[in-house]
Amino acid sequence: MPQTIHRGIKAMIDEANAEIETISAKDAITLIGKDDVVIVDIRDPREIERDGRIPGAFPCTRGMLEFWIDPNSPYAKPIFQQDKKFIFHCAGGLRSALAAKTAKDMGLKPVAHMGGGFAAWRDAGGPIEAWEPKKKG
How do the domains of the chain map onto residue ranges?
19-123
Q: Name the pTM for this structure.
A: 0.90
Class assignment of domain 19-123?
Answer: alpha beta
Which of 87, 115, 83, 80 minimizes the C-alpha distance to 31?
87
- Could you list the pLDDT tens digit for every one of the 137 residues in the chain? 677 767 799 999 999 999 999 999 999 999 999 999 999 999 999 999 999 999 999 999 999 999 999 999 999 999 999 999 999 999 999 999 999 999 999 999 999 999 999 999 999 999 999 987 676 65
Query: How high is the pLDDT of residue 98?
Result: 96
Query: How high is the pLDDT of residue 124?
Result: 97
Is residue 31 a contact partner of residue 87, using CB atoms and an 8 Å limit?
Answer: yes
